[in-house]
Amino acid sequence: MENFENNVVLITGGGTGIGKATASAFIAKGAKVVITGRRQSVLEETTQELGAQAHFVAGDVSKKGEPARIIEETIRKFGRLDVLVNNAGTGNMGPLSEISDEEIEGIYRTNVFAPLALIREATPHLANSKGAIINISSVAARGIMPGVVAYASSKAAVDHATRLLAAELGLIGIRVNAVAPGLTDTDITTDVKSNEEMLGMIIAQTPMGRLGEPKDIANAVLLLSDSRAGWITGQSVQAGGGFLL
């Protein structure tokens, strides 16, 4: 995998889990990384742990105006942007009859609105660097299962937006791909992991026979960001150990 020295990478939801692992992986390859999130204390702790190549911008990407501010602060700090990783996400389990309007809106604002707004604001800078965008989707975007309609449909929107934007932004040299994790061992999957029956069912249906680790997803993000993947765009790479093939 190539060295990302002198590259600047922006990762939303970068304080924990997949985002943190992705930040660490890019830094190990020489990149400067900006992480974002809503909890400043978590960002401060993670940035300190990641070292001098890391910087944070606290903010809620689901709120109007925040994506533009975050991009502006990234450019002000480092002067360029090479990779945008839209990792921040949210969701909940339960039938549609039990999900409120506010919950549906919250899921779509974080999972769909925020990536689109960030991409829009980042486009001029990524065009300058001939950069890459990696959207974090989910295997749930392709699977059919009860109790995840708001989350899964929002991730299906991410997958389709990835294809559309690959066609639109390829004309100015920007590649757009997605990584679709299966069940991964992060804080956001605590409810599923604590349900032994559900956890056992998912692992039984995963050919690789285990949960994903954040580093598994980080490695997939780096692969797609690598210049040697320069002829790959518009794809959603399933990174779920074979779950829901």
CATH assignment of the domain containing 186: 3.40.50.720
| Residues 119, 67: Cα–Cα separation, whole Å | 9
Domains: count for the chain:
1
Residue 122 pLDDT = 98
Beta strands in the chain (DSSP E): 8-11, 32-37, 54-58, 83-86, 132-136, 175-181, 236-239
Q: Does a structural domain hold residue 243?
A: no
| Residues 119, 122: Cα–Cα separation, whole Å | 5
Residue 1 pLDDT = 63
DSSP-derived letter for residue 2 is: -
Residue 75 pLDDT = 98
Residue 202 pLDDT = 86
Q: Does a structural domain hold residue 50?
A: yes
Please list the active-site residues: 151
Q: Which residue has the tokens 């502006």?
A: 72
Element (H, E) at 154: helix 149-169
Q: Does a structural domain hold residue 2?
A: no
Whether residue 86 contacts residue 137, with contact meaning beta carbons closer than 8 Å, is answered with no
Query: Exposed, middle or buried, 201 (CB in 10 Å: 0-12/13-18/19+)?
Result: exposed
| Residues 190, 196: Cα–Cα separation, whole Å | 11
| Residues 52, 64: Cα–Cα separation, whole Å | 30
Q: How far is the CA of 224 from the CAs of 161, 177, 231, 237, in angstroms?
A: 17, 7, 10, 9
Residue 130 pLDDT = 98
Instruction: Give counts: helices (H), strands (E), the chain.
Output: 9, 7
Which range marks the domain in which residue 227 is found?
Answer: 8-238
7 contact partners, CB below 8 Å, separation of at least 6: 26, 30, 31, 32, 82, 83, 129
DSSP 3-state assignment of 86? strand
**Cβ neighbours around 180 below 10 Å, total:** 26
Residue 45 pLDDT = 98
Q: Does a structural domain hold residue 1?
A: no
Q: Does a structural domain hold residue 121?
A: yes
pLDDT in tens, the chain (245 residues): 679 999 999 999 999 999 999 999 999 999 999 999 999 999 999 999 999 999 999 999 999 999 999 999 999 999 999 999 999 999 988 899 999 999 999 999 999 999 999 999 999 999 999 999 999 999 999 988 888 999 999 999 999 999 999 999 999 999 999 999 998 988 777 777 677 787 888 888 899 999 889 999 999 999 999 999 999 999 999 999 999 88
Residue 145 pLDDT = 81
Distance of CA 136 to the CA centre of its chain: 3
